[in-house]
Amino acid sequence: MTGYAYMTASQKRGTIYIGVTNDLGRRVPEHKSRQWKIELIERANPEWFELFRGTGW
């Protein structure tokens, strides 16, 4: 299995994201779409519970 490490930014001098994937053609467009993130949260955390509160922060 081939894997890729990649870096992308939200904008010039913006937040840099570093990731790993085995399918760049699929993964890069996912960074532009929030829908997959929302679906993940809805499945794993349907009440949108703020998880960081449980860490004592």
Q: pTM (2 decimals)? A: 0.53
Give the helix/strand (H/E) hosting 5: strand 4-9
pLDDT at 57 over 90: no
- The answer to whether position 24 is within a domain reads yes
- The answer to whether position 53 is within a domain reads no
- The answer to whether position 56 is within a domain reads no
Average pLDDT score over the chain: 84
Tell me, what's the pLDDT at 48?
78
- Compute the half-sphere exposure of residue 20: CA atoms within 13 Å on the CB side of its CA: 3
- The answer to whether position 22 is within a domain reads yes
Specify the number of domains making up the chain.
1
- The answer to whether position 26 is within a domain reads yes
Is 3 in contact with 21 (CB distance < 8 Å)? yes
- The answer to whether position 44 is within a domain reads yes
Residue 33 lies in domain:
4-48
